[in-house]
Structure 1
Amino acid sequence: MASSSEKQPSLTRRQEEIYDFLKDKILKRGYGPTVREIGNHFGIRSPNGVMCHLKALERKGLISRESNMSRAIQLTDNSQQKTVLPLLGTAVSGDPWRPDLDDETVEFGGLFQAGNRACILVRGTALGSLGIQDGDYLIVAKGATGRPESLMAGLDDRNCLIVTRVGNDGVPSNPVVPGAVPGMMSRELGVVVGVIPRFADADVAVTSATNTAHMNGHGEILEDDADDS
Structure 2
Amino acid sequence: MDFIKKVVAEQGYPPSVREIADAIGFASPSTVQYHLRALEKAGQIVRDPTKPRALSITQSPDSLAPEKGDEPVLLVPLLGDVAAGVGVLAEEHFENTFAVPSDLIGSQSGKLFALKVRGDSMVDIGIFEDDVVVVGSQRTAKHGDIVVALINGGQDGTVKVYEDRDGVPKLRARNSTYSEERSTIYFSDERDGVIGKVLGLMRTY
TM score, norm. by length of structure 2: 0.47
Q: Please, what TM-score do these two structures have when normalized by structure 1?
A: 0.43
More helix, by proportion: 2
